[in-house]
Amino acid sequence: MKTKILQLILTCIILPIFGQYKFLDIPKLDNNDLKAVAYKKNPAEVAEILYKSYHYYITDGQLNLDVVSRVKIYKKDQAEKFLNQEIYTYNGKNNNSEKVTSLKVLTYNLVNDKVETTTVEKNSKYKSKESKNYTVTKFAFENVKDGSIVEYKYSVLSPFVWSVDKITVEDNVPTRRFDYVLDFPKYLGFNIDYKGSLTPKNRDVADKNIYGGEYYTYRFGFENIAPYRDEKYVHNLDNYRTSIRAELNSTNITRTPGAYDYSDLGGFKSYAVTWTDIRKQLYESDNFGEQLKRNLW
């Protein structure tokens, strides 16, 4: 795993960084995009992702995620995938749950050369408790026509800092810009598992002084990503898409000891997982060990 980090840093040096790319800078809504009736390079495209970003950052022992998605719809009847959306969140024990906040859902249309915005009201965003552990927040974009631009933004606040989702980069329609950012304090260590054939055009892997502390930041910016579509005899397309997955490998938190304080002062802890750890986790899991204990089988 360490060598992997090294590789990433090395390739970073080799790849030149062009100009001053601003990550997470949401582009201004362009009237030309609203006017467009078809994707230029291939008029058969049903939609185009104009901008998508995932920003993970850890502050105060919490994992924050900000998501922004802006999609141009060329053919509404064939682009249903982009029109009805679901956000899955995990509910843990003792109220340790992921929470969706500040969900904004907008549809932009050009009416008489003016931008008309339709917002999904609170009572049309649905929260459904799918099972004990999962809640889904669902919404459907409103007033969608051929040519609309649909946009959503939301944040997730999570106590599970070790659980950063795997993010896949390519979609089955073209993507104009895609940003991935992970900021974490230096006392945490993450492995970045980067898979796939796509090379980020913009890359910034460095230590930075942000959020009032010492941080590492991993930033990958992609531009003009070709669509990645299902082909015959591919069982799981996601295995081939470019993906980024961050995995917590260690913490290094040290307390200042008080007088006569003999308890654990912290220090470096590795979370590199062994098979023994996995066995322990499985036995503690509700869906495995707990069921075995109850002797339901």
Partner 1 sequence: MSIKTFSQNYAISEIPEEIKKDANAVVRNYSSEYTIKAADDMEIKEKKVISILNKAGEKFSYVNISYNKYSRISDLKLRVLDENGKSIKSYSKSDLNDVSQSDNSYLYSDYRALVTRIVQPTYPYTIELSYTTRTSDTAFLPELQPFYAYNVSVEKWSVDFKNESGINLRKKITESKFGKIELQENGNELKVAYINIPSYKYEKYSPDPETVFPKIEFAMDRACLKDKCGDFSSWQSLARWYNTLIEPASAITPEIQNEVNGLNLKGSTSEKVKTIYQYMQKKTRYVFVGIGIGGWQPMSADDVRKKGYGDCKALSNYMRVLLKAAGIPSYYTKIYLDDTPVFFDENFPKMSGNHVILNIPTENGDIWLENTDQNIAFNHLGYATRNRNVVLIDDNATKVINTPTYSAADSEEQMSVSAKISEDNSLSGNFKFGFTGGLYDFNLNKATMTPQEMKESLKYDLNILNLSSINYSNFLNDRDSSKLSYDIDFKADNFSKTLGNDIYFRALPVADNGFYLENSEDRKFPVEVAFGYTDNYEIEYTIPKNYKFSEIPLAKKIDSEYGNYSIEFSQENDRIVIKRKFKLNKGSIAVDKIPSYINFRKQINKIDATKILITKL
Q: In angstroms, rounded to a whole number, what is the distance separating the alpha carbons of residues 205 and 219?
A: 6
Site string for partner 1, 135-164 (x = CB under 8 A): -x-xxx-xxxx-------------------
- The radius of gyration of the chain's CA atoms, rounded to the nearest angstrom, is 22
**CB closer to partner 1, 28 vs 132:** 132
Structure tokens of 51? Answer: 């901008």
Least distance to partner 1 from the beta carbon of 297, Å?
A: 6
Tell which one of 80, 207, 238, 261 touches partner 1 (CB under 8 A): 80
DSSP letter for each residue of 123-134: GGSEEEE-SSSE
Cβ atoms 83, 72 nearer than 8 A: no
Cβ atoms 89, 97 nearer than 8 A: yes
Q: In sequence order, what are the residues at sequence separation of 6 or more whose Cβ sits closer than 8 angstroms to the Cβ of residue 3?
A: none
**CB closer to partner 1, 55 vs 72:** 72
Tell which one of 49, 58, 83, 106 touches partner 1 (CB under 8 A): 83
Which residue shows structure tokens 């993450």?
190
Interface with partner 1, residue 233, by CB under 8 A:
no
Nearest CA to 71 out of 149, 162, 13 is that of 149
Least distance to partner 1 from the beta carbon of 94, Å?
A: 18
Q: In angstroms, rounded to a whole number, what is the distance separating the alpha carbons of residues 15 and 21?
A: 14
**CB closer to partner 1, 128 vs 270:** 128
Amino acid code (one letter) for 238: D
**In the chain, which ranges are E strands?**
47-59, 62-73, 84-90, 99-111, 114-119, 126-129, 134-140, 149-158, 167-168, 175-185, 188-195, 202-210, 213-225, 243-254, 266-270
Interface with partner 1, residue 76, by CB under 8 A:
yes
Interface with partner 1, residue 294, by CB under 8 A:
yes
Cβ atoms 51, 70 nearer than 8 A: yes
Least distance to partner 1 from the beta carbon of 278, Å?
A: 23
Cβ atoms 67, 24 nearer than 8 A: no
What's phi and psi for 131, nearest 5 deg?
Answer: -155, -175
Least distance to partner 1 from the beta carbon of 143, Å?
A: 5
Tell which one of 59, 118, 155, 217 touches partner 1 (CB under 8 A): 118
Interface with partner 1, residue 166, by CB under 8 A:
no
Tell which one of 44, 113, 262, 276 touches partner 1 (CB under 8 A): 44
- How many amino acids of this chain bind partner 1 (CB under 8 A)? 29
**CB closer to partner 1, 60 vs 77:** 77
> 176-215: which residues touch partner 1 (CB under 8 A)?
none
Interface with partner 1, residue 60, by CB under 8 A:
no
Residues that bind partner 1 (CB under 8 A): 44, 46, 76-78, 80, 83-84, 118, 124, 126, 128-132, 136, 138-140, 142-145, 229, 294-297
